[in-house]
Homo-oligomer: A and B are copies of this chain.
Amino acid sequence: MKREFEPWIKDLEPDWQSVFDVCSRCPVVASARGFRLPAQSTIVEVLNGIVGMLFPGCLGRDAQRTFAGDHDGLLDASETAQALYSCIVPVAKYYCELDKCEFCGDCEKFARKVVEDFFSAGASIREALQLDVQAAYEGDPAATSQLEVVMSYPGLYAITVHRIAHQLVKSKVPLIPRVMSEHAHSKTGIDIHPGAQIGSGFFIDHGTGVVIGETCVIGQNVKIYQGVTLGALSFAKDEDGNLVKGVKRHPNVEDGVIIYAGATILGGDTVIGHNSVIGGNVWLIHSVPPYSKVYNAQPAPVVRTKEGS
């Protein structure tokens, strides 16, 4: 942006100062001072580096370069590891010092452990993703190749980011997993909380409007369509009327379940038994046994016909 200003712009200073005064009273902004926290865009860059490591030449950072095969994959991976470490350290310090967290103490050591565990888990994450790719290819009549699935399917991108973010949740990294999962939400319309546990061979088709809550546990080879909600039925409150955080409040979905578009399944005690099929737009707030077929007696719409012209 240019630095030559209309002369009257300097007169805006008192108004800007008023905005800044409000900002200063905001606990978030005030506490951010002195911390060189990673910006959203920095975290997304790290995410893209990891995605590129998992699908070299197909997705993520420098896909064209890695496609050509004339890159140094190990160097790319080392850069990504370093960048992930550099994001985690200041975030850990922020949460340590300001939220009085006492679990980590040595934030550099914590961050190193997270990165090491992440790389240890890398191969099994990639194995799961391979099954996800196959599930999409086999489950969608419109899919013409596995390359098409990897390079264009939003459901595959969403589960890729989820598997990355969920590994960081397991390592108790604050903030960063949620920024990653909301980036995937922004790109795909699929909102998976990074805390959700999801088995391999998972396929979300179309995907816009899908919501999968924090405490969901989903088995293997589950298939979900657009607009499906796996959500909370109600929120527990403590004696002061504040919401209780961290309790189980979202359903479990066992192996081999298919959930059609627009279905809503709610509640932490709700279990969808394995190999069940849940029909479009169904509203379900109780468990069903394995091999259930659940569907709405769809209201036959009224059709009024007036032949014309």
Contact = CB atoms under 8 A, between A and B. Distances in A.
Interface in A115-148: 115-116, 119-120, 122-123, 125-127, 130, 133, 138-148
Given A78-B9, A307-B290, A15 B119 contact: yes
Interface residues on A, range: 35 or more
B79 A16 contact: no
Given A9-B78, A41-B63, A77-B12, A297 B302 contact: yes
| Chain A to chain B: the 8 pairs with minimum beta-carbon distance, closest first | A39-B63, A15-B119, A18-B123, A19-B122, A39-B64, A22-B126, A152-B182, A1-B79
Contact of A152 (B57, B175, B245): B175
A206 B15 CA distance: 33
> This chain: how many copies in the complex?
3
Nearest to A22: B126
Contact of A146 (B28, B57, B64, B79): B28
Contact of A54 (B23, B81, B193, B306): B23
Nearest to A27: B146
Contacts of A127: 22
Given A299-B296, A301-B283, A32 B147 contact: yes
A130 B22 contact: yes
A59 interface: yes
A142 to B, nearest CB: 5
A159 interface: no
A303 B307 contact: no
Given A112-B8, A209-B209, A153 B182 contact: yes
A150 B283 contact: no
A152 B182 CA distance: 6
Contacts of A178: 148, 151-152
A15 B122 contact: yes
Nearest to A61: B1
B291 A305 contact: yes
A288 B305 contact: yes
A262 interface: yes
20 contacts: A16-B74, A18-B123, A23-B54, A23-B56, A28-B55, A34-B69, A40-B63, A41-B64, A140-B243, A141-B243, A141-B249, A145-B174, A151-B178, A153-B182, A191-B206, A211-B261, A282-B301, A283-B301, A290-B308, A296-B299
Contacts of A69: 33-34
Interface string A153-168: 1100000000000000
A85 interface: yes
Contacts of A81: 5, 9, 12
A152 to B, nearest CB: 4
A36 B58 contact: no
A229 to B, nearest CB: 6
A179 B145 CA distance: 13
A80 B146 CA distance: 28
Contacts of A187: 186
